[in-house]
Amino acid sequence: MTANALAPRALYEEVAELLRQRIFEHDLKPGSWIDELKIAEAYGISRTPLREALKVLAAEGLVTMKVRRGAYVTEVSENDLEDVYHLLGLLESDAAAVVARKATDEQMLKLQALHDTLEQSVQPEQVNREQFFIINEEFHMLLLEIANNRWRNQVVSDLRKVMKLHRHDSLLKSGRVEASLQEHRGLMTALLARDPALSQQRMLDHFKFGLKAAS
């Protein structure tokens, strides 16, 4: 891969996205040292845009910079994970309450359509965990978009990046995908009933059970 292949976005942004995806996929594992020279050579770039990319990832919490030791993929402690899930539960449950009160019928139909797609990804004969995760995140992002608070959305976006460091472990736990789907069914029922309090509680419960699976 060459620098030209990474245009037209700013080079460091492209590099940040490449590394971000490698971290999410656990190609770069939590706690591992990031070999700047090796990565720069592999991407055909200088170390300057790479270091700018690492600063971006450090600001997102995905990379930890250690003095005189370089950059490492962030290791998230149990306490960190609890804090992240706690905040996500508060923020997204509040968004669910807003959606139950204010969403248009058209917006509710969009949420229902995504939920239906989520249902289809969980077939008795074969559960597609990767597809389930992608659609699940799309559902949460659409709900936040409908709730329409850009400051909340920005905070949630950063927190979800940290949460992704553990997503594979939680999804692989026996029965977690099916349980998560059941939680989504309950949430969707509350949203369609236009019940803000119940929608808020079911989203809180969703994150509570998600934390239990991820811990």
pLDDT score, position 177? 86
pLDDT score, position 115? 96
Q: How confident is the model at residue 170 (pLDDT cuts 50, 70, 90)?
A: low
> Maximum distance among all alpha carbons in the chain?
56
| Cis status, amide bond into 196, omega within 30 of 0 | no
**Dihedral, CA atoms, 179, 209, 86, 65, nearest 10 degrees?**
-80
> What pLDDT, in 10s, does the model give residues 25-35?
889 988 999 99
This prediction has a pTM of 0.80
In this predicted structure, which of 58-62, 80-84, 165-169, 183-187 has the lowest mean pLDDT? 165-169
Residue 151 has pLDDT above 90, yes or no: yes
Q: What is the mean pLDDT of residues 187-211?
A: 97
Q: How confident is the model at residue 6 (pLDDT cuts 50, 70, 90)?
A: very low
Percentage above 90 pLDDT, the chain: 69
Q: What is the mean pLDDT of residues 48-55?
A: 94
Q: How confident is the model at residue 149 (pLDDT cuts 50, 70, 90)?
A: very high
Q: How confident is the model at residue 176 (pLDDT cuts 50, 70, 90)?
A: confident
Strand pairing report for 63-66 and 122-123: unpaired
48-79 burial, b if ≥16 CB within 10 A, otherwise e? Answer: ebbbebbebbeebbbbbeeeeeebbbbebeee
Amino acid (one-letter) located at 66 = K
> What pLDDT, in 10s, does the model give residues 111-134?
999 999 999 888 766 667 788 888
Q: What is the mean pLDDT of residues 155-168?
A: 83
Q: How confident is the model at residue 182 (pLDDT cuts 50, 70, 90)?
A: very high
